[in-house]
Amino acid sequence: MNIQWFPGHMAKTRRILAENLKMVDVVVELLDARIPASSKNPEIDGIVKNKPKIVVLNKADLADEKISNEWSKWYNSQGYATIFIDSIKGTGIKQLKDQMRDIMKDRIERDRQRGRIFRPIRTMIVGIPNVGKSSLINKIAGKKSAVTGDRPGVTRNKQWINVNNEIQLMDTPGILWPKFEDKTVGINLAVTGAIKDEIIDTVELASILLEHLSKTYPENIKKRYKLESLQDKKGYELLEEAGKKRGCIISGGEVDLTRIAAIVLDEFRGGKIGRITLERPGDAVQELVAD
């Protein structure tokens, strides 16, 4: 599966980030805890440069907790303090606010000694589409301030949101990069919903996902789709069998692969198959598809 997607508004988003960075004190880079490597836009570091940055992994409630701990240790070894959050329930939000204050404490104290009027910590939230930036801002602010949605590309323009007298947040549109050098990156982004389903072969995508999960989380898919045996079965076979079990049958007794593919992807994204992480540290990007 070859996935390339770079709509025009992505170039505009890069300009927005670069132009407004001088007004920002701290950058929060939001990643998907299920795909920490694939959800990291390699262009962000080049745009942000030396600005103080906090790495935040969202959707931690959907990720495999054991592997999340591995990622936490890996980031610590690289000199990053990481925060795992659930932007819907609010888990980890207090820790994130504390981290913002801690990063800026020297500037705040310097301004106080000089008698300057305190101004809020200006924080830019950056990340790929559909990673939960607007939901995070709403949770930090304690009110519905940013536009949210369950599809990529909802936030189109920058937004400044006043949290309180201490913190001011800038929401930005999600940004992808022009070309996925590793095909697995594109697949991981598509599986988690960062790329619109409308431009993807969802049957192939769901087949790839099931084949991968049959090796990494076999009991999860056996239980969820009542599959009796996974041995030596390819993704399409697993998808077809799951479709039969779910009653996704069309005229002639054939399986409606499009329907069962949509079900599998939706249930993965909603955590109904279980808490699953597709990448481990140590793998630049874990292979979903054999070359």
Q: At what angle do helices 257-269 and 235-245 cross, to 10 degrees?
A: 90
Q: Residue 59, annotated ligand binder?
A: yes
CA atoms of 57 and 82, how far apart (whole Å): 7
- Written as six digits, the tokens of 24 are 């920002």
Q: Residue 135, annotated ligand binder?
A: yes
Q: Residue 133, annotated ligand binder?
A: yes
Q: Residue 58, annotated ligand binder?
A: yes
Q: Residue 105, annotated ligand binder?
A: no
Q: At what angle do helices 257-269 and 202-216 cross, to 10 degrees?
A: 50
Q: Residue 106, annotated ligand binder?
A: no
Say how many residues make up the chain. 291
- Written as six digits, the tokens of 91 are 């888990």
The answer to whether 6 and 129 are in contact (CB under 8 A) is no
CA atoms of 254 and 244, how far apart (whole Å): 9
Q: Residue 130, annotated ligand binder?
A: yes
Q: Residue 134, annotated ligand binder?
A: yes
Q: Residue 32, annotated ligand binder?
A: no
CA atoms of 287 and 289, how far apart (whole Å): 5
Cβ atoms within 10 Å of 188's Cβ, excluding its own: 27
Q: Residue 132, annotated ligand binder?
A: yes
Q: Residue 174, annotated ligand binder?
A: yes
CA atoms of 156 and 149, how far apart (whole Å): 12
Q: Which residue has the tokens 């979903």?
A: 288
**Could you tell me which residues are annotated as the binding site?**
58-61, 130-135, 174
**Could you tell me which residues are annotated as the binding site for GTP?**
58-61, 130-135, 174
